[in-house]
Structure 1
């Protein structure tokens, strides 16, 4: 029985030791090299941390991060990435929640880290790599660990202003990745292009799908996401087969028409998540890469990456939206109404809830938040069972597939009407000359505001929206922007959009 993600690494290293495990612009690790370097770091950390203790990771996103992750696990701990692109104030907030005693960084970043993480022991990657591996010691530590121990903590924004640390255990990742790789046919022949930051759970799919199957993980340099032509050249040069990307990253390629420059024809699978995929962007990919399998993934970090999926049918009309589909194996995804009754009828909107092994362990040091979201299953009065309430709204369509219907907090009341902002965005995105769009609600001024990238003039856009939507759903302010501000996780930053025109976003 596999109880630890290190089993993925060791199994692949035993099967194909000389195969590339992870590659970046400057460095590559074979599976055996990755195993040995992880053991070096694990041995060094085992003399510093206690089993079950967090280790912070403050490094540039590169191949060297993986031996730090696995080394932390070898030492019996769990890791949390402190993204060096975040403001120092945000990093100190996260540190105050997690309170790690140890932060792993690099020689190049050590001075910078010292100015942010006062009171912590700073260890460099280069120093840790000098330790000879003690496999007996690591095996002894391993025997004391179980599959529900934490593997990592990823931080997301919190409604109180304090970041929420989502604790995910080994068993949840093993359960999900086994299903994920089998469902989408990911094998040792795949070359996976990693787009997501390592503190974002999309990267969990990249890393552990590769480790599980023996595929090669290619870390795409961050700078290429502002250089679409170079990005396409990189994908072609590395003969990428699989892209598990945020919607915003894929839209970068289509907005700048990069596929017209060159088509990366080794790609076989494109899986996207994080936001609603604009149909124009999807059709652009499909026209250049018609044989690729396209998959819409849905799920918050709290359920370990994703809980539902929809494999797109090239003959199907998605003008009404792409379903989030059906649940992954061993996950029960269901809808509850306002009185906690299960919804089964089509076209009835309810809150999307999830139960199963893939649920996170909860929020780190946040009992009040846990009590709101990780709750007893109201459908099961017979024994303790936890579900996760996502705060997302969904409905079943006529085919029995789940359709995302917005956030509870994106559902607004305006001029006496209940409005889903996603519905406005879908109609806006369908208009010729709109490449990307976002709609926000300024509660203070009680106004709808729309932002878009594209060639259409504001007055023409307003006129077309009036033809498609009721007057109360047409934004009173429309603004064309050069690009959409993004959060660190690649989603549209609605707060920054609100600041462009003054006011607060819903």
Structure 2
């Protein structure tokens, strides 16, 4: 058995075995594995000549077939890609480019006819020497039938030499998340980590070549890594759902039906959006055989609605931050369980170790023990951009650290900043974030505990609570149809006095961050607007 060293081997094997099988569907059409492979190689040649080898390539574009070939082409060129939301503020894009030390930039924004003026180039890339139009790159990658045999040979030799010099710990991509300092934090992910996770992922959940995977996440969100490389690994079809459909839930449900989607690997917030607005009603989604969700705690009432509609489908809770590519634990939902305490995080994926450390530094081993989640294993990211130039990571409350249980040799682990509790039978239940743990009236409170209590009340489908430090008060925001005053009365009988929210507010929908999680900061701001 030949061990893979590069994620491009997924694409190459699938194209070799199923060249005419549909690889990608986007708004512009459908593309085979042969087309995806050939276009990606051509992009690789072009980008190598632009100087992408060994260099960061920032791709500012909506997800599409052309964006994907730019990403894969970057890998063929021996570089690593950095996907960026084209709607991101210019300041954020500039901060990312600055952190990457003069990257090559591929601009796919199309705001107007002259969308890439010299001023916008300078504004975007902070003086980066090379900026490429995505459209120009795409055209050059799809119209080279006129190449001579000698040119084709020259291109093949260029790509072959680049591949020979690459190793499995070279980076594949960098994803920038929100840092604790307010500046974007770049997570560097290498080939070995992606290969280790994807091999385990597709085997664990039996992702197959005849699957049609509905991609919800934008390419700058790590959920998309499972979609892209999970599909390439088995030769499945990846369906890139247009961003606009997520503001039109009924059209989105119809789209899933028409496309005969079989697998959905989605953020919890996206699933809740559809059930909140009853978008599943009247649509036949019987082709869906599996739904895998992550990012936040899945409210039980929303899960129940999905399970009622997809009564034959498997549902899986996934856990793990971007730093541990892409998840480290999973739990297959048992339709016969009531889950009174919530859905557990489940079992560790193969070749990963998950352990909990209590606040006193001892290992959590007993039922009822609560500790912070640490993870080690082959799919750990390389670290953060600029981490070597900063000592802040040593004292941060979470991040890449030396294994506190090992003092003999270097043994990196990821300290997640998440708390969990050991349940009967050894299952692990998520208890909340360290940064969602607050001190109020002399008591330590986990905001997620308030959320769970509110969600257990009749008429509530989802809740997120926040702590207003300015006014020293707890606030709870909920979706549902129960009266605010009645709900507040119920909570006074179900929560300790110090945990009862000062104000309970009904909302029609939860504001979301760009990564699809509920935005508690925005909820706080809305509370000020409404007094």
What does the per-residue CA deviation read over 1:454-504, in whole Å, with 9 as the maximum and x for residues that have no partner?
22221011012122212221110122222211000000111111111239x
Query: Structure 1 residue aligned with 2:99, among 79, 97, 100?
Result: 97
Alpha-carbon contact 2:45-2:159 (below 8 Å) kept? yes
2:426 is paired with a residue whose SS is coil
Counterpart of 1:150 in structure 2 is 171
Stretch moving more, 68-77 or 331-340: 331-340
Distance in 1 (alpha carbons) for counterparts of 2:229 and 2:30: 17
Distance in 1 (alpha carbons) for counterparts of 2:96 and 2:495: 42
Counterpart of 2:349 in structure 1 is 328
- How far is the alpha carbon of 1:369 from its aligned partner? 4.7
Query: Structure 1 residue aligned with 2:20, among 18, 21, 27?
Result: 18
Counterpart of 1:417 in structure 2 is 443
Query: Structure 1 residue aligned with 2:199, among 170, 178, 182?
Result: 178
Counterpart of 1:47 in structure 2 is 49
Distance in 2 (alpha carbons) for counterparts of 1:107 and 1:349: 47
What does the per-residue CA deviation read over 1:23-49, in whole Å, with 9 as the maximum and x for residues that have no partner?
112222211100110011100111122
Alpha-carbon contact 1:52-1:150 (below 8 Å) kept? no
TM-score w.r.t. the length of structure 2 is 0.92
What does the per-residue CA deviation read over 1:318-374, in whole Å, with 9 as the maximum and x for residues that have no partner?
121000111100000111123433221121111100111100000001333543421
Residues 378 and 25 of structure 1: CA distance in aligned 2, closer, same or farther (over 3 Å): same
1:128 to 2:133 alignment: no
Counterpart of 2:479 in structure 1 is 453
Alpha-carbon contact 2:86-2:109 (below 8 Å) kept? no
1:203 to 2:224 alignment: yes
1:277 is paired with a residue whose SS is coil
- How far is the alpha carbon of 1:171 from its aligned partner? 0.4
Question: Structure 1, unaligned stretches of length 5 or more?
Answer: none
How many equivalent pairs are there? 503
Residues 145 and 238 of structure 1: CA distance in aligned 2, closer, same or farther (over 3 Å): same
Distance in 1 (alpha carbons) for counterparts of 2:41 and 2:21: 18
Counterpart of 2:520 in structure 1 is 494
Counterpart of 2:330 in structure 1 is 309
2:375 is paired with a residue whose SS is strand
- How far is the alpha carbon of 1:252 from its aligned partner? 0.7
Distance in 2 (alpha carbons) for counterparts of 1:107 and 1:375: 38
- How far is the alpha carbon of 1:410 from its aligned partner? 1.0
- How far is the alpha carbon of 1:208 from its aligned partner? 0.5
Distance in 2 (alpha carbons) for counterparts of 1:40 and 1:438: 48
- The two structures, once aligned, show a CA RMSD in angstroms of 1.6
TM-score w.r.t. the length of structure 1 is 0.96
Counterpart of 1:346 in structure 2 is 367
1:343 is paired with a residue whose SS is coil
Distance in 1 (alpha carbons) for counterparts of 2:284 and 2:444: 43
- How far is the alpha carbon of 1:118 from its aligned partner? 4.0
Q: How does 1:87-486 map to 2 (within 5 A)?
A: 87-106=89-108, 108=110, 110-111=115-116, 114=121, 115-120=123-128, 121-129=130-138, 130=140, 132=144, 134-367=155-388, 368-371=391-394, 372=396, 373-486=399-512
2:408 is paired with a residue whose SS is coil
Stretch moving more, 177-186 or 99-108: 99-108
Distance in 2 (alpha carbons) for counterparts of 1:99 and 1:393: 36
Distance in 2 (alpha carbons) for counterparts of 1:430 and 1:106: 45
Counterpart of 1:79 in structure 2 is 81
Alpha-carbon contact 2:98-2:126 (below 8 Å) kept? no
Question: Structure 2, unaligned stretches of length 5 or more?
Answer: 145-151
2:271 is paired with a residue whose SS is helix
What does the per-residue CA deviation read over 1:50-88, in whole Å, with 9 as the maximum and x for residues that have no partner?
532100001122121111111000000000011012222
Distance in 1 (alpha carbons) for counterparts of 2:309 and 2:109: 43
Distance in 2 (alpha carbons) for counterparts of 1:489 and 1:74: 28
1:60 to 2:65 alignment: no
Alpha-carbon contact 1:394-1:406 (below 8 Å) kept? yes
Alpha-carbon contact 2:59-2:108 (below 8 Å) kept? no
Distance in 2 (alpha carbons) for counterparts of 1:140 and 1:189: 34
Residues 211 and 370 of structure 1: CA distance in aligned 2, closer, same or farther (over 3 Å): farther
1:460 is paired with a residue whose SS is helix
